[in-house]
Structure 1
Amino acid sequence: MARILMVLSGVDHWTLTDAGKHPSGYWAEEFVVPHRILTGAGFTVDIAAPVGGKPVADPVSLRPEVAGPEAEAFAAYIDAAAEALTHPTALSDVDTADYDAIFLPGGHGPMEDLAHDPDLGRILVEADAAGKIIAPVCHGPAALLSANLPGGRWLFAGRTLTVFTNEEERLNGTADRAPWLVETVLAARGAVVRSANAWEANIVVDGNLYSGQNPASSKPLAESLVAALTER
């Protein structure tokens, strides 16, 4: 069966334009729902983070008024995965050849660390060269910015993807103090961004690059990976 590397941010904050530390991390739904679907399909899912990182859920993503009726279930699932989350594989130790796909949950955490992580950049370059599926969701595409080719060209320039939009960031109340907007930066680096209406599930597939726009896209993105990897 397939083996998936799920890469999580290893920070518990997001630095805003006023230098304030906004509590953050990975978005609970974007970890729990895909992890549950992928393992339920019989796949092995290994959790990885930057060296020294300790993945934590964004506290907002566990609030009932945000997560809805699944908030308690999300928290329980995260508690059950505490050992793997507390001791993730260091990205520097990852052998890309061991995996069939790389999954990148969002939350604002990836903008703080994964976007600049050289070990993740290496993994993504190797995975893309081997045709392995790379699947970021929501703010997870920020992590793609770590992947640069010799000479500085961005690996994903010219590729079509989706991402948490500037409109969604504004509606979320976080755009005004964001040090950068992930949709804007990805487009500026050369990505072709395809967006749906705010908060609608949206999946974009471009070759081996599978992306989801927002938390609602977590489930269909994971299901698309199951279908693709089952066919291989």
Structure 2
Amino acid sequence: MTGTVLFIMTGADHWTLNDGSRHATGFWAEEAVAPLEVLRAAGYRVTVATPGGVRPPVDEASLDAGTVGSAEKADHLREVVETAPEFQSPIALSDVDLADYDAIFVPGGHGPMEDLAVDPDAGAVLTAADRAGTPLAIVCHGPAILLSATTEDGTNVFTGRTVTGFSDAEEEQGGLADMAPWLLQDRLTEAGLHVTVGAPWSVHLESDGNLLTGQNPASSEPLAHALLGRLETPGDNR
């Protein structure tokens, strides 16, 4: 089975903290590379879209051997990030034609907290995809993009839906919670979504209609497999 999956990725290389300083960030490598490889292996093509069509910046911390568990894994992630053609020449979010894609995947990293959370083009694509029943798979900090999908009266399109994402506890353990302008779990809850989280750093997925979410980097590959399951049984999307 073949088709095309749209990756919506951050174009931000920093996250603005409470004191106005910039924390260097981008997308988290594993959360893009693992799903890319799962989808490629299943015969799917991947197209990357970013705000303005800029090349998505990788968070260098996500390529650190100590962070990802081994030098071998870090080297592999870097090689894919730096050479995979999908990441080198993205299209602009404003140019996305939803009819061209079978599903959407959104990797995390703190970058989406900076741009995708407030990007009107991202909100428009997600709103159209949800109305069409297109599978949406979003991982870690990626669910910040859901905040951009609002109706004219400011109501979130995904109000009442069950999701997961990077938890307050994980943000605290990661050391950035006290400096963060807002926390993902809190902001999604305030927007009217029902957020569930598992133990910090454990695999945790949620499924609500066509919306599939994963909590953290460890959840990215399982989420990609869950997305494949939906693509193979599209009747499950509603």
Q: Name the TM-score class by shorter chain.
A: over 0.9
SS in 1 for 2:52: coil
| Cα distance in structure 2, aligned partners of 1:44 and 1:231 | 18
Q: Secondary structure at the match of 1:176?
A: helix
String of CA shifts for 1:90-148, please: whole Å, max 9, x gaps. 00000011111110000000000000111111100110000001111000000111111
Per-residue deviation, 1:52: 4.8
Aligned to 1:14: 15
Aligned partners of 1:20 and 1:63: how far apart in 2?
Answer: 23
Secondary structure of residue in 2 paired with 1:51: helix
Question: In structure 1, which of residues 92, 101, 104 is the aligned counterpart of residue 103 of structure 2?
Answer: 101
- CA RMSD of superposed structures (Å): 1.0
Alpha-carbon distance between aligned partners in 2 of 1:2 and 1:231, rounded to the nearest angstrom: 14
- Superposed displacement of residue 2, structure 1: 2.5
Matched AA of 1:111: M
Q: Is the 8 A contact 1:14 1:23 kept in 2?
A: yes
Aligned residues of 1:11 and 1:54 also touching (Cα < 8 A): no
From the superposition, tell whether residues 52 and 2 of structure 1 become closer, same or farther in structure 2 (CA, over 3 Å).
closer
Q: What TM-score comes out, normalization by structure 2 length?
A: 0.95
Q: Give unpaired runs (5+ residues) of structure 2.
A: none
1:77 paired residue number: 80
Any idea what SS the aligned residue of 2:47 has? Answer: strand
Q: Deviations over 1:13-67 (max 9, x none)?
A: 1111111111100000001000010111101110110015331110100000001
2:220: which partner in 1? 218
Q: Give the corresponding residue for 1:55.
A: 56
Note if contact 1:33-1:218 (Cα within 8 Å) is conserved in structure 2. Answer: yes
CA distance in 1, matches of 2:142, 2:230: 20
User: What are the residue-to-residue correspondences of 1:143-222 with 2, within 5 Å?
Assistant: 143-222=145-224
1:11 touches 1:53 (CA, 8 Å); kept in 2?
A: no
Aligned to 2:134: 132
Q: Give the letter for the 1:34 counterpart.
A: P
Give 5+ residue unaligned stretches, structure 1. none
Kindly indicate whether the alpha-carbon contact (under 8 Å) linking 1:2 and 1:229 is maintained by their aligned counterparts in 2: no
Amino acid of the residue matched to residue 107 of structure 1? G
Report the alpha carbon displacement of residue 231 of structure 1 after superposing the two structures with TM: 2.4
- Structure 1 segments, 4+ long, off by >4 Å, are none
**Percent of residue pairs identical:** 48
Partner in structure 2 of residue 2 of structure 1: 3
Q: Tell me the amino acid that sits aligned with residue 103 of structure 1.
A: F
Corresponding letter in the other structure for 1:45: V
Shift of 1:84: 3.4
Instruction: Give the secondary structure class of the aligned counterpart of 2:137.
Output: strand
Q: Which residue of 2 aligns with 1:26?
A: 27
Deviation of the 1:175 alpha carbon: 0.3
